[in-house]
Structure formats: C-alpha cells, structure tokens
A and B are shown apart, each in its own frame.
Chain A
Amino acid sequence: MQRDGTLDARGLMCPMPIVQLARRVKEMKTGQVLELLADDIGAKEDVPAWCSRTGNELVGTEEEGKILKFYIKMK
C-alpha cells in the first residue's frame, strides 16, 4: 500500500506502539498515510481503537507472519 512514512514498533509491547504512534503522527500532514509495523498482538485491537478515538482513519491492515501492518491516514 502507498505510504508516506513507516514507524517500526516491532519488539515493543503495549502501550509503547501507541505512544510512539501518537508522537509520530504529530510530524505528519493531513491526508498522509503512515505505515505502522508491530508484533504486539494487543496492537490488533489497540490501533483501531486509537484511530477511532483520535479520528485518524485506518485505511488498511495486513498480516505477514507475526508482523502486523497498519496503514493510517492522518486527519
């Protein structure tokens, strides 16, 4: 999927992927898509919850083995 940046949160457990995501988002512009890589299984529910709470759009998810990929469009 097309992306404007990648945040690698592999190896980090809850709540660190979300904390790093919140930080990174501040550097992105409206409409840009951020790819988030995570292997914390909690992220499967956490990332969509974060998106719906913050109003950023989760435009896609992929799973590659144990790696979860999330594509988030900035509001």
Chain B
Amino acid sequence: MLLSAFWFFATLTIAFGISVILLRNPVSCAMSLAMCFISLAALFITLDATLIGIMQILVYAGAVMVLFLFIIMLLDLRTEKSRRLNFGTTLGGVLVIAAFLSMLTQIVLSNPQFAQTIPTLALPTPDNVKMIGMTLFHSYALPFEAIGVLLLSATVGVIVLSRRTLR
C-alpha cells in the first residue's frame, strides 16, 4: 500500500518536474510546477510528516505559485522563441547531471544502511503537529524569531525594489 503510493507519487513528482523544464509556455510550466509540489506533499504525507505536507500545499502550491502566475501574466510572457542551444554549455550541463546522478546512485546503493524499510514507531499514532510545536518553541525559539525578522526585511525589500524609480 505504502510502496504503491510511493511509486505513484514519486513518478508523478518527477514527471511533472521534467515537464517544467521541457515545456515552452511559461503558464504550462507554472501549472506543472504546482502539480509537482502537490505530489511532493503527498510523498511527505507517506513519510508521516502531515503538517509539513499541508504546509507544502498551502505555501508552495498556494502562495508561491500564485506569485509566479501573477508575474508571468504581469510581464505578459509568451511562448519562448526557440533559439539555438549553445553546444558547449549543453554538453557541460548534461555531463554534470550525469556525474551527479551516477555518484548518488553508487553511494545510495552501496551503503546497506540505506536499504532499511520504514521502521515502526513506538507510539502507534504520533501527534505530529503537537510534537513539531513542542520542538519548535522549546529548542528553536530564537531561529523562529529570526525567521520573522527575515520575512519582515524581505517584505520591506520587495516594496523598495518595486518602486518606480530606485533612489
């Protein structure tokens, strides 16, 4: 059951990820990216990270994708005219990706520690939200405050950047 859910959503995530980089129309790319994030959220939920999965849908598939679509429509981006690919950069990119994938496969498949199946939890129904809240506000209270300041400065930065004339 969990295995078939994993294969289904992993295939969906990677297929929509590939369609993001292959489609020419920016709006189709943005919609594929939204589907990619939603199936990734389903993968998080198969790993018992319910809160993170829901946050993924709310923040990424909701807020971030709306922002992307808004910018695409604001700039009125059309389908890209296909230009000739620079042969050197294409070859370099494909080589780097192939080297990365072969190294990763070698490391992941060679280590027996990575071959373990999902371990059962001592508590049958872990209260995910409660435990994340406890950890966040006990051990990570200061980073939590810092992230608030970061969001505030990002908001101010966006307002400064989007003024008509920069002074």
A associates with B: no
Chain A residues in contact with chain B, CB under 8 A?
A: none
Chain B residues in contact with chain A, CB under 8 A?
A: none
